[in-house]
């Protein structure tokens, strides 16, 4: 039989945290993961050839801003969901708000477009592999995010796993913008988002297994 008092004896001698145990979540392993997969992407498939011209279009920057906003919201979610008792009430607004704004712009673009051109806005020319590439690119950062959370204390494991996937997926999508030739926000609101939802879904599935402590 184990007395609680004995356990306290075991713990009481060492309240001081061990040196080298990170108190805060550090962003750089995720960034390193993204940079590695981004470098592989750019080395193999290359950046879009018209990158300087694309940089003049608002759609390029809206696309990038959308991905970065979700990456920021995802990172915030990773930190909050890895800290017991931390408030998460802002997270649905940040994630939902970013998606809502983009869908609003995409809806306007659809309405203004010639009906015959709408399918093209939706599918572009790369819809077949865009979500897959974003998912693949997210994997190193996804692993880094899960590893980071294992060193902290997530208490809602499905949500925590989903947050790790979303953060990694959105960071990967931000880098993917450099390669992707699509200019349509309708395309972004569908296939980019899918590329982030896939890792988030995987995270929700495996969260309870890999994040339990």
| Per CB under 8 A, 23 contacts other proteins | yes
The reply on whether position 10 binds other proteins by CB under 8 A is yes
Query: Binding pattern to other proteins, positions 149-188, x when CB under 8 A?
Result: ---xx-x---------------------------------
> Does residue 82 interact with other proteins by CB under 8 A?
yes
Shortest Å distance, C-beta 15 to other proteins: 3
Q: Does 7 bind other proteins (CB under 8 A)?
A: yes
CB 26 within 8 A of CB 148: yes
Min dist. Cβ of residue 84 to other proteins (A)? 4
Cα angle for residues 156, 208, 10 (degrees, 5° grid): 80
| 12 is an interface residue for other proteins by CB under 8 A | yes
Please identify, among the stretches 81-89, 121-129, 138-146, 195-203, the one whose residues bind other proteins according to the rule CB under 8 A: 81-89
Which distant-in-sequence residues (6+ apart) come within 8 Å of 63 by Cβ?
177, 180, 182, 185, 188, 192
Measured at the alpha carbon of residue 67, what is the angle toward residues 61 and 68, in degrees to the nearest 5?
A: 85
Q: What is the rounded CA–CA span in Å between residue 15 and residue 190?
A: 50
Q: Which one, of 179, 172, 177, 155, lies nearest residue 32 by Cα?
A: 172
Rounded Cα–Cα distance for residues 29 and 117 (Å): 42
Please tell me whether residue 85 binds other proteins under the rule CB under 8 A. Answer: yes
Minimum Å gap between C-beta 32 and other proteins is 22
Q: Quote the CA–CA distance of 98 and 198 in Å, as a whole number.
A: 18
d(CA 195, CA 188): 10
CB of 189 to other proteins, least distance (A): 35
Q: What are phi and psi of 152, to 5 degrees?
A: -110, -145
Q: Which of residues 115-134 bind other proteins (CB under 8 A)?
A: none
For the bound state, the minimum distance from the C-beta of residue 74 to other proteins, rounded and expressed in Å, comes to 19
Closest distance of CB 79 from other proteins, Å: 10
Task: Give me the residues that bind other proteins (CB under 8 A), please.
Answer: 1-19, 21-23, 82-86, 152-153, 155, 212-213
């Amino acid at each position: 039989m184990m007395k609680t008092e004995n356990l306290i004896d075991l713990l009481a001698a060492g309240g001081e945290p061990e040196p080298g145990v990170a108190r805060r979540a550090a962003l750089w392993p995720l960034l390193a993961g993204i940079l590695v997969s981004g470098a592989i992407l750019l080395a193999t498939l290359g950046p879009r050839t018209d990158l300087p011209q694309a940089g003049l279009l608002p759609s390029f920057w809206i696309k990038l801003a959308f991905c970065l906003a979700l990456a920021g919201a995802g990172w915030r979610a990773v930190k909050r969901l890895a800290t017991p008792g931390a408030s998460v009430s802002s997270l649905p607004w940040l994630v939902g708000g970013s998606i809502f704004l983009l869908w609003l712009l995409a809806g306007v673009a659809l309405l203004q477009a010639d009906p015959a051109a709408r399918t093209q806005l939706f599918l572009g020319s790369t819809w077949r592999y865009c979500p897959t590439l974003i998912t693949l690119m997210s994997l190193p950062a996804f692993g880094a995010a899960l590893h980071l959370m294992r060193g902290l204390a997530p208490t809602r494991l499905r949500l925590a796993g989903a947050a790790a996937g979303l953060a990694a997926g959105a960071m990967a999508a931000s880098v993917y913008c450099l390669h992707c030739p699509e200019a349509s926000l309708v395309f972004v609101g569908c296939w980019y988002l899918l590329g982030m939802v896939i890792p988030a879904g995987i995270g929700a599935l495996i969260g309870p297994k890999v994040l339990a402590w």
